[in-house]
Chain A
């Protein structure tokens, strides 16, 4: 830009230096607080490997956002203090500064670097294990089975307004409760029978939309025993707010016992279910009644 007018530091008190010093002080105070005090409390906690990953991610984002926010706030506070009109009755114009190319240049450099770093960092984290998000029918990020662990496929069947869970490895039994074995790579195949729902297991760091006719896969690697809450995160009709239940991560033996018991309990229903499939198109498709 062809800027007329002076640079930032022509005269008077060294405002620029003051702002930078204040900003540094604010950072020295706030960043450790954010990283070490707020950080560990960030969601969704350490319920699973993926959830822990999200916590780390949130800490990184927050610790980068803090200096940015502090920069704006300190600057804003400073200019309001330093450049406020003390005699508002008289209208006096300020200096006609129309820009400063070096400030603009460095602003662009710094923000671009930040943004590219964030996007790169997010991509790396996402591609590492999928971060518990729904990845559609052909997942690109497939976490490895944990050492000494196993894997389990659970189908989440969402319908208005209840989540059911189907275990293809256990005779295709369908239950209205969910328990998962610890230290296991769980593959959730999320689908819906009617409208869009979203399977959100908060403590496990899993969220995957349940779309009718779509198999949306999300992975989670469980850690130790835990109670987790499942809620629907996509408006699905009148009982959307009531579409929740509680699940448990339990030791492997306990899980084996539980699933065996469920198979017996739901034997009559299992007989009538359609064969296990990644998507279902139940009749009637169109108009009921």
Chain B
């Protein structure tokens, strides 16, 4: 082969490698986003079941990070997804099982539920408007529609605390239920307001900054 021919082959191979690398970069990293789960439609309305755990599964990329899971109420099937698909302009009942301990709110204001129907939540079967900010474990909040629901933490001296996900209902947990009316179609983000990211400055790095753990989307369709 001539020298120029060799160079052409070399360039082609190099270009092919570059294209593959770019493809991997986009495919494996950039577009690698958590999956979604749809709300359950029953005769009693639209239900969304969520669980918050002190740590994701041991096989997760970040097995020490706090995280939300979508919980299938019937089959106890836990899915590590943080995009929740809800129908537009509907009243949705959300049930969140929280297995995590309390770490206290940075801004105590979020100890009060806002944006729910009636401004109330049902905590372990009791209706209330607010919880003690120091007992807050997480906040489920969609700031764009003014929704913020504090989740009470599991007591520090709980007998049977859950470690890593999945956590069945036999572990100690608190149950928070609330209803809210979904807005019009669109993509809304949700987040947590309790500095619950262990090991990060002010508790606000890592899982608090990462979609797929303490952040995600509500996709209203």
Chain A residues within 8 Å of B, Cβ to Cβ: 157, 159-162, 164, 174, 176-177, 193-195, 237-239, 242-243, 245, 265-266, 268-269, 272-274, 282-289
Interface pair A287/B106, CB less than 8 Å apart: no
Q: Which residues of A contact B203 (CB under 8 A)?
A: 284, 287-289
Interface pair A268/B112, CB less than 8 Å apart: yes
Q: Which residues of A contact B112 (CB under 8 A)?
A: 266, 268-269, 272
Give Cα A195 to B205, complex, Å.
Answer: 11
In the complex, the chain A residue whose C-beta lies closest to that of B132 is: A272
Q: Which residues of A contact B124 (CB under 8 A)?
A: none
CB-based closest 10 A-B pairs: A288-B203, A289-B198, A269-B112, A288-B195, A268-B130, A272-B108, A162-B143, A282-B106, A268-B112, A269-B109
From residue 81 to 119 of chain B, which have CB atoms closer than 8 A to chain A? 103-104, 106-112, 114, 119
Q: List 10 A-B contacts (CB under 8 A).
A: A160-B208, A162-B143, A176-B146, A193-B107, A237-B204, A243-B143, A245-B143, A266-B112, A268-B129, A289-B196
- Shortest Cβ distance from residue A97 to the other chain B in the assembled complex, whole angstroms: 47
Interface pair A176/B143, CB less than 8 Å apart: yes
Interface residues of B, CB < 8 Å — how many? Answer: 38
Chain B residues within 8 Å of A, Cβ to Cβ: 103-104, 106-112, 114, 119, 129-130, 132-133, 141, 143-144, 146, 148, 189, 191, 193, 195-204, 208-211, 215
Q: Which residues of A contact B191 (CB under 8 A)?
A: 161, 239
Q: Which residues of B contact A272 (CB under 8 A)?
A: 108-109, 111-112, 130, 132-133
Interface pair B108/A242, CB less than 8 Å apart: no
Q: Which residues of A contact B133 (CB under 8 A)?
A: 272
In the complex, the chain B residue whose C-beta lies closest to that of A273 is: B108
